[in-house]
């Protein structure tokens, strides 16, 4: 009997390797069945033992034990005692450990291209048939090539001849339904990601330039930016506005001859740029990219670049070559590139390649069989399953080996499991231990045991991964979610002790969460939520602009001079505003673009941040790598509540000065701070100037002229 001829009077699902769940509607024989039997692909019949019956109201549920091994991928039928028949569909068995163990495959997947032949491999263990569909991009004529099933649920075919430029998809039959899907391992796609494309990646390869050494993660100064935002402003002076190639243009100038683009990044002195997602995403029509805007957290294809940033989204090579050129050029200018990766969810579960090829496997489900939604976007990737973990590790490896990226920022990393993140870190360490891994370690409601989640609370289990530190953020700025709440930099001092924990690298001995300062990402602003400036418009609206600018400089100084890894949001250094828009993920360019005119109006403030970056780089006492160093050298001074002052003591082995004092003051009233000895101290940073040049000297005490940061040093 052909499966497609079956009219399912009742339904049967394989929910474990030895368990069939049979649902019989009461409209069929009142739902009452005495005996079920299983017919194998060889036409042998075996009686099933009914373990449990459950009345579901409109139907009866029968749980039946299967006492013969089931070959997944073959067709089985279930008969009732009166000859009624249905097919045994694949159910929750895909989410069991025995299934995972049986079908785990550790080899290559995707397309292997040569001029002579192309080999396709796709993992589809629950499919009963599978084909690769080859489409001529010019004529749209399609050929279907049957795939052969190998061990571990892998299907393959080799097609002879030069297939370069041909579009392809997989067509698989699961539970008697044919579905068409783009290869989850596709490395090139057609416009809007409609098809995978067979290409010769070797044609796009370029050598990675040498980058400045990174001896510790705390040597990194991360600058987060969106490819389109950074260059799209009408006065950016950049030719390829909003494109990958916009990041390759040097010596560009904006209003009032201000430096823009790549040359500005170099001038600023940051070590890493963190680029919002640039894998292929939904939300922008690549044929008309300027008609829509998106941050990029709607992943479609994780191993192919986004086309809206390419000069020609119709040419599958253009986006690859241009992205590689952008990364290469940044690195050639001494700037490493961190990729923002979104492995925690897909854009739409039902339409995703994962769900079409192996339904039910790649996502988490709750106890009632509903898709989990810890991410808030309708699906949670089940990273704890072996082939999901393999896909994530393979993908990260691909971006390092093929595009030479220098780090990964894991979106909603707390959704992922610890074992997967460990596997990622261990794999990267075999390639280049200086590759950074950082992520959002929020604890989200996904059906995974809390001790298995890659959350900030479990940081000790992932010592080589860094976490966005929301305690640092909120104690300096005030709550991100309560706009009127003010942190230390906004003039409050209730969270003063928490700020001191943050300054100390949030290590355990200083009442923080982390084993080492290399685990904390210190920040007060990112692409998410209100910009610092927009929050202050509300929380500190009673103050004039000049005072608020001092507060923002104070907050940025706290970020750059604290122990840990500093992180700046692009434009933070010149008071970036999104006109009060909190979540600008799809807001127009007028809201999201970097405003180079605004930068030109705040050159002194930009120079101040530049000076702080230079100061951080000049002395390793700002960049300790261990908890022990912090305990041995960092001491807080006794000061009034609106001042935080600390002494980096006996640090001559780390740089040019023996002792350093940093003072953060959050009130406009003038104040004096007594120095810890009577020796001469040299001021290198005050509320207006920063850097490594001596501004003036003093003894015994220093006068603070309002809100700001002061740094004093003692020569060796």
Please check whether residue 64 lies inside any domain of the structure: yes
Please indicate, yes or no, whether residues 107 and 74 belong to a single structural domain of this protein. Answer: no
Query: Beta-carbon neighbour count of residue 627 at 10 Å?
Result: 20
Predicted structure pTM score? 0.97
Q: How far apart are CA 629 and CA 623, in angstroms?
A: 10
Please check whether residue 118 lies inside any domain of the structure: yes
CA 521 to chain centre: 14
Please check whether residue 616 lies inside any domain of the structure: no
Tell me how far CA of residue 463 lies from CA of 64, 413, 472, 499, 507, in angstroms: 46, 15, 19, 22, 12
Q: How many CA atoms lie within 13 A of 199 on its CB side?
A: 21
Catalytic one of 417, 440, 595, 659: 440
Tell me how far CA of residue 666 lies from CA of 51, 73, 408, 495, 663, in angstroms: 70, 67, 35, 12, 10
Indicate the DSSP class of residue 93: G
Q: Which of 65, 90, 115 corresponds to the end of one domain?
A: 90
Please indicate, yes or no, whether residues 107 and 172 belong to a single structural domain of this protein. Answer: yes
Question: What's the pLDDT at 3?
Answer: 52
Q: How many folded domains does the chain comprise?
A: 3
Burial 141-162 (b: 16+ CB within 10 A, else e): eeeeeebebeeebbbbbebeee
Helix (H, G, I), strand (E, B) or coil at 135: strand
For the domain that residue 82 is a member of, what is the CATH number? 2.60.40.2320
Catalytic one of 384, 411, 595, 686: 411
Residues found in the chain: 716
Q: Which of 90, 116, 151 corresponds to the end of one domain?
A: 90
Q: Which domain holds residue 62?
A: 3-90
Paired tokens of 163: 């297939």
304 CB-near residues (< 8 Å, 6+ apart): 186, 187, 188, 189, 193, 279, 280, 319, 320
Please check whether residue 546 lies inside any domain of the structure: no
Tell me how far CA of residue 630 lies from CA of 219, 260, 508, 519, 651, in angstroms: 15, 37, 11, 14, 11
Please check whether residue 272 lies inside any domain of the structure: no
Asked if residues 193 and 300 have their Cβ atoms less than 8 Å apart, the reply is yes
Please check whether residue 567 lies inside any domain of the structure: no
Question: What's the pLDDT at 715?
Answer: 85
Please indicate, yes or no, whether residues 12 and 82 belong to a single structural domain of this protein. Answer: yes
Paired tokens of 171: 């067509």
Please indicate, yes or no, whether residues 75 and 121 belong to a single structural domain of this protein. Answer: no
The yes-or-no answer on residue 285 being catalytic is no
Query: What residue has token string 């739409």?
Result: 348
Low-confidence ranges of the chain (pLDDT < 50): none
3-state class percentages of the chain: helix first, strand second, coil last, to nearest 5: 30, 25, 45
The yes-or-no answer on residue 440 being catalytic is yes
Please indicate, yes or no, whether residues 121 and 86 belong to a single structural domain of this protein. Answer: no
Give tens-digit pLDDT for 175-184: 999 999 999 9
For the domain that residue 143 is a member of, what is the CATH number? 2.60.40.10
Please check whether residue 110 lies inside any domain of the structure: yes
Query: What residue has token string 């200086």?
Result: 434
Please check whether residue 656 lies inside any domain of the structure: yes
Q: How far apart are CA 365 and CA 42, in angstroms?
A: 34
| Backbone torsions φ then ψ of 472, nearest 5 degrees | -60, -50
Candidates 410, 250, 235, 257; CA nearest to 330 is 250
DSSP class per residue in 494-541 = TTHHHHHHHHTTTBGGGT-SBSSGGGEEE-S--SSS--HHHHHHHHTT
Give tens-digit pLDDT for 629-668: 999 999 999 999 999 999 999 999 999 999 999 999 999 9
């Amino acid at each position: 009997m052909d499966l497609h001829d079956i009219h399912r009077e009742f339904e049967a699902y394989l929910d474990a390797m030895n368990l069939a769940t049979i649902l019989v509607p009461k409209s069929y024989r009142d739902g009452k069945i005495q005996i079920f039997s299983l017919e194998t692909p060889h036409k042998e019949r075996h009686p099933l033992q009914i373990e449990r019956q459950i009345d579901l109201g409109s139907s009866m549920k029968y749980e039946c034990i299967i006492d013969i091994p089931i070959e997944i991928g073959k067709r089985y039928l279930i008969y009732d005692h009166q000859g009624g028949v249905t097919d045994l569909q694949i159910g929750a068995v895909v989410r069991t450990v025995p299934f995972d163990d049986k079908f785990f495959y550790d080899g290559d997947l995707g397309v292997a291209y040569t001029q002579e032949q192309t080999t396709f491999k796709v993992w589809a263990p629950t499919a009963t048939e599978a084909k690769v569909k080859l489409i001529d991009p010019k004529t749209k004529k399609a050929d279907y090539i049957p795939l052969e099933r190998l061990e571990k649920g892998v299907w393959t075919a080799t097609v002879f001849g030069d297939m370069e430029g041909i579009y392809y998809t997989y067509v698989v039959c699961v539970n008697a339904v044919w579905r068409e899907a783009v290869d989850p391992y596709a490395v090139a796609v057609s416009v809007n990601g409609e098809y995978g494309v067979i290409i010769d990646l070797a044609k796009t390869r370029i050598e990675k330039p040498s980058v400045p050494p990174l001896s510790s993660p705390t040597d990194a100064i991360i600058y987060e930016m969106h490819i389109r935002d950074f260059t799209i402003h009408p006065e950016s002076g950049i030719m390829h506005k909003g494109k990958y190639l916009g990041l390759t243009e040097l010596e560009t100038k904006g209003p009032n001859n201000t430096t823009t683009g790549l040359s500005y990044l170099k001038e600023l002195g940051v070590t890493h740029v963190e680029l919002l997602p640039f894998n292929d995403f939904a939300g922008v029509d690549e044929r008309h990219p300027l008609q829509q805007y998106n941050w990029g957290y709607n992943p479609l294809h994780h191993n192919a670049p986004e086309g809206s940033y390419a000069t020609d989204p119709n040419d599958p090579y253009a986006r690859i070559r241009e992205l590689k050129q952008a990364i290469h050029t940044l690195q050639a200018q001494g700037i490493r590139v961190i990729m923002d990766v979104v492995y925690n969810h897909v854009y739409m579960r039902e339409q995703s390649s994962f769900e079409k090829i192996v339904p039910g496997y790649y996502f988490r489900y709750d106890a009632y069989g509903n898709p989990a939604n810890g991410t808030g976007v309708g699906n949670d990737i089940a990273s704890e399953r072996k082939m999901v973990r393999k896909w994530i590790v393979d993908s990260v490896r691909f971006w390092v080996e093929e595009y030479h990226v220098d780090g990964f920022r894991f979106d909603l990393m707390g959704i992922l499991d610890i074992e997967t993140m460990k596997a990622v870190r261990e794999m990267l360490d075999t390639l280049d231990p200086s590759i950074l891994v950082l992520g959002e370690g929020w604890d989200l409601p996904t059906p995974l045991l809390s001790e298995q989640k890659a959350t900030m609370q479990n940081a000790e289990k992932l010592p080589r991964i860094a976490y966005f530190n929301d305690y640092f953020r909120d104690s300096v700025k005030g709550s991100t979610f309560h706009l009127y709440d003010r942190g230390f930099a906004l003039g409050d001092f209730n969270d003063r002790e928490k700020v001191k924990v943050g300054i100390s690298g949030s290590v355990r001995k200083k009442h923080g969460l982390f084993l080492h300062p290399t685990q904390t990402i210190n920040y007060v602003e990112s692409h998410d939520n209100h910009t610092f400036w927009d929050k202050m418009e509300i929380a500190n609206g009673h103050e004039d602009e000049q005072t608020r600018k001092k507060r923002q400089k104070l907050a940025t100084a706290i970020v750059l001079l604290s122990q840990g890894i500093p992180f700046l949001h692009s434009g933070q250094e010149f008071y970036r505003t999104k006109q009060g828009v909190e979540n600008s993920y799809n807001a127009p360019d007028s809201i999201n673009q970097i405003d180079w005119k605004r930068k030109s109006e705040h050159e002194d403030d930009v120079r101040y941040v530049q000076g702080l970056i230079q100061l951080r780089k000049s002395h390793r006492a700002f960049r300790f790598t261990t908890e022990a160093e912090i305990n041995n050298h960092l001491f807080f001074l006794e000061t009034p509540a609106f001042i935080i002052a600390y002494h980096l003591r006996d640090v001559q082995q780390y740089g040019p000065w023996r002792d350093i004092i940093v003072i953060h003051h959050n009130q406009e009233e003038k104040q004096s701070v007594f120095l810890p000895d009577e020796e001469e101290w040299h001021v290198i940073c005050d509320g207006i100037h920063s850097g490594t040049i001596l501004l003036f000297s003093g003894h015994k005490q220093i006068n603070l002229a309002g809100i700001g940061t002061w740094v004093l040093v003692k020569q060796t």
